[in-house]
Amino acid sequence: MTDKTTAELASYAIEADHVVAGVKILALGDAVPRYELTVPSLGKATDAMLDHLRDKLAHQVPLIIGAASHEEAANAREQFFLLAKKTVVEEMGALGSDTIAGLLVQRMLGMGTLDILMADGNIEELVINGPRVPIMLYHRKHGWCKTTLLLSDEAILNLSSQIGRKTGYDINSLHPIMDAHLLTGDRVAATMQPVSSFGNTITIRRFARSPWTVVSLLVNKTLTVPVVALLWLAMQYELNIIVAGGTASGKTSMLSALGIFIPPNQRVITIEDTREIALPAALQGNWVALTTRNANPEGQGEISMLHLMVASLRMRPDRIIVGEVRRKEQAE
């Protein structure tokens, strides 16, 4: 129910780990719409039981955290869900066991309620600008929206550290800026005080689960038919192409979409800071994806784009695709 000053822009349901949540986007007369997330409500007794079950299942978690890829993590997460559901049924009965087990999975293996937000395919960006400030997100149809979710400074730092540990990155007082990624491939940028004056921050770029294609770029009027024809000819005749643009303008999406024009009998090497490029299935049998690596706390072991470029030239590539270049050293 909305009052006369409130307009409902959208309403739909999303699901993550068998937990179904409702989404409403409301125009309240503010600068940005409000994104209301309605998650299953637990009573105090159920919430206390959830803590008990979390302690009981804690010894199983290291097996899940050790997963190295998105596929392995997804499989391990589903196995843990089945284990959690079995435990919930034994302790509490079958009623609502899927939801309770899913909430356990999110609290123990994921990012809690943020996992539900990340299941919304309309979200492109999720940003935590500091403690006690509503989490913001960029909606594909409605632009920037304000949620009603708040995190403490400690919770933001814990979340950053958790993301870093799972992907081999660190964030601490010595290294207060972290560029990392989730196991799903979504890019994460985190900062700590005093680098970010108002508190610890996290920005998550959520990539489309179905990569953009040339057809979808045409449908959305990002490209025109003559431009696509020109790019096709450029790819066929092996010309060098630079894709340039501002933040969130679709540079990586364009690179991925252009992959359809690469002949399937060619060898492709991609070089990136963070794994983002998605190429057609026809190329994946002869595609090597190289990713940079930061130095360890002792300052050793860094693998830069230049290192990867030199290595790629020894791999007999037909095509080399270099992902987003953010630093002068990388451009050189």
> Strand pairing partners for 123?
139
Q: What is the Cα–Cα distance from 117 to 140, expressed in whole angstroms? A: 13
pLDDT value at residue 247: 84
Cβ contacts of residue 193 below 8 Å, gap of 6+? 153, 176, 199, 200
Omega before 194 cis (within 30°)?
yes
> Strand pairing partners for 289?
270
pLDDT value at residue 25: 97
Torsion of CA 281, 283, 287, 291, to 10 degrees: -60
What is the length of the chain?
332
pLDDT value at residue 62: 52
> Strand pairing partners for 16?
19
pLDDT value at residue 27: 95
> Strand pairing partners for 152?
none
Structure tokens at 265: 């009998």
Cβ contacts of residue 109 below 8 Å, gap of 6+? 61, 64, 65, 77, 80
pLDDT value at residue 295: 77
pLDDT value at residue 2: 52
pLDDT in tens, 118-158: 999 999 999 999 998 999 999 999 999 999 999 999 999 99
Task: Output the pTM of the full model.
Answer: 0.80
Nearest to 256 by CA among 270, 245, 267: 270
pLDDT value at residue 61: 66
**Which amino acid appears at position 175 of this protein?**
H
Each residue's pLDDT tens digit in the chain (332 positions)?
Answer: 455 578 999 999 999 999 999 999 999 988 999 999 999 888 888 888 888 888 888 876 655 554 456 777 788 888 889 999 998 998 888 888 899 999 999 988 889 999 999 999 999 999 999 998 999 999 999 999 999 999 999 999 999 999 988 877 889 888 899 988 888 888 899 999 999 999 999 999 998 777 788 999 999 899 999 999 999 999 999 999 999 988 888 898 899 999 999 999 999 999 998 888 888 888 888 999 998 887 776 778 889 899 999 999 999 999 999 998 877 666 66
For the chain, which domains are there? Answer: 1-120 (no CATH), 122-208 (3.30.450.380), 214-331 (3.40.50.300)
* Distance from the Cα of residue 72 to its chain's centroid: 16
Place of tokens 């079950």: 53
> Strand pairing partners for 138?
125, 144
Structure tokens at 241: 């192409």
Q: How many contiguous H segments (helices) and E segments (strands) does the chain have?
A: 11, 12
Q: What is the Cα–Cα distance from 85 to 101, expressed in whole angstroms? A: 5
pLDDT value at residue 268: 96
Task: Note whether 154 and 199 are within 8 A (CB).
Answer: no
